[in-house]
Amino acid sequence: MKRRDFFKKALMGLSALTIAPTVLAEACKAGTAPAGKRVAKNKERLDYVVNAADAKGHKKFKPEENPNCLNCKFYEPNKKGKDDSKTPGYGRCAMMANKYVSQCGWCKSWRKV
Ligand code: SF4
């Protein structure tokens, strides 16, 4: 690899790290918490936050992976084919005792789909 290419790639990586939290915060359009459902609250368990951008600084939060509930393997937006149109932006999470979590949320148990 040429020296110029090395510095170019290093700069691109650095700018991606700087931009990632901003993109994460702006891309997330959480729905309204579904009424009458068991909804997880901030910091209730596993350091869960409703908005992944609020997890910035947590030792397990890696913004470069764009982690959030929507791309977590424990997120279940539509259980057994049921219509979840009444809970837009929210889905159930097995790690949160099947409570509803925001698709924009995050907790330290996040695992990429
Ligand atoms: S386990 Fe995944 S879906 Fe559940 S709260 Fe944590 S990040 Fe969200």
- Write down the pLDDT at residue 61: 97
Ligand 1 atom having least distance to the Cα of 48: 5
Q: Give this prediction's pTM.
A: 0.74
83, two tokens: 């219509």
C-alpha 43 – ligand 1 centre gap (Å): 12
Residue 13, pLDDT > 50, answer: no
Residue 40, pLDDT > 70, answer: yes
Handedness of CA 30, 64, 111, 109 (dihedral sign): negative
Pocket of ligand 1 (CB under 6 A): 48, 69, 72, 74-75, 93, 95-96, 101, 105-107, 109-110
- Write down the pLDDT at residue 25: 46
